[in-house]
Amino acid sequence: MSAALLSIDWAEWLNLGLRWLHLTTGIAWIGSSFYFVWLDNHLKPPAQGSASGELWSVHGGGFYHNQKYQVAPPTLPDDLHWFKWEAYWTWISGFSLLVLVYYIGAQSFLIDPAKAALSQPAAIGIGLFALGSGWLVYDALCRSPLGAHSRLFGAVWFAILVVAAFALSQVFSARGAYLHIGAMIGTVMVANVFFVIIPNQRKVVAALKAGEEPDPALGKAGKARSLHNNYMTLPVLFIMISHHYPMTYGATRPWLVLALLGATGVAIRHVFNLRHKGRSGAPYMVLAAALVLLSIGYLALEKGTAAGTGAAPTTYADVQPLFAKHCTGCHAAHPTNPAFSEPPLGVLLDSYAHARAVAPRIQKVAVEAEIMPLGNTTGMTRAERDTLGRWIAQGTPP
């Protein structure tokens, strides 16, 4: 029995459990965000009573009557539900995944020696600094006069995130940079709940219990932060799935692709919010479509440039030294890398025939995803990856 327990890959099971928890709590949090913004946008003046808005709806065979009090109800109900744990557990599980995959595995997934020769503690320090400073900058902007101008505030915050994506892509692997932007946004979102929304609601409840009139500014500030969170959800969801699509973070300018597709998510979210208010979101849907086409066009142009259209053919003689330098230490019949007694996954790259046979895989993991060589311990450069990409795009000439 003990031998069987020792044979279990506990790290993988922990990874799976955390991902499942992150997905489940994330659905709950984002679902509530979407629902309450939808609810706010559909409220009508009440037929009677002191509520600021109401809505009748039908779902699951029953009828629901929602009422909203802009500041607070006249009397506090005995049973009051707080929406907070969905947010907290989404961040806890997400940060745990960040630690497990990108901090414990920093040498393999976060550090790229071809960009910056970081130690593991230095890389982790940069990552944590990005998360903390992101919240501090965002919160300062919210509390500044800029916070009163929603559109301008959104543009400035978006620009700051793009600059952060550019900066992190200079020192981290592309995947690591993407995930840290997602973690920055997620940290801002949960900090909004923990430091602003919930404390403000507690102050309102305390005022009611004390028989005092609650400060309307508390609810207004909480509402603003909640709406910010609503617009940041789709960019975060894109980042969560982006690591399955190396064509995005594997671009020469991954920060630009992230900016274009992130802006697409914001535009789509705005379309839904406008439609909930009975307004046309057509101009923003056109904008979202244009951003998607611009992203696809940019990636296609970049791929064509990397393929060296019109240039002299890149032959196996050009790429064979790259295989010898970066690949055959592991992917040879008799690996020289002491970590392997046989080639990983049976992949051989020690001859033209072997390399040509797995060219699509090389394109995915080495050229686009940049996850091979593992941890980039041999320091493979972007220019060398592009050379491999041209050879593959030109049909792997012998």
pLDDT at 194: 97
Q: How many residues does the chain have?
A: 398
The CA distance from 273 to 234, in Å, is 13
The CA distance from 246 to 174, in Å, is 9
pLDDT at 354: 86
pLDDT at 300 over 80: yes
The CA distance from 28 to 84, in Å, is 10
Give 395's contacts (C-beta < 8 A, 6+ positions apart).
none
The CA distance from 370 to 176, in Å, is 11
Strands (DSSP E) along the chain, which ranges? 53-59, 62-68
| 4 or 319: which leads in pLDDT | 319
With b for 16 or more beta-carbon neighbours within 10 A and e for fewer, the 211-235 pattern comes to: eeebeeebbebbbbbbbbbbbbbbb
The CA distance from 223 to 202, in Å, is 14
Q: Tell me the average pLDDT across 2-28.
A: 85
pLDDT at 317 over 70: yes
pLDDT tens-place string over residues 121-142: 999 999 999 999 999 999 999 9
pLDDT at 37: 92
How confident is residue 373, by pLDDT bands cut at 50, 70 and 90? confident
pTM for the model: 0.85
| Gyration radius of the chain's alpha carbons | 26
Tokens describing residue 4: 């069987």
Q: Tell me the average pLDDT across 93-104.
A: 95
Averaged confidence pLDDT in the chain = 90
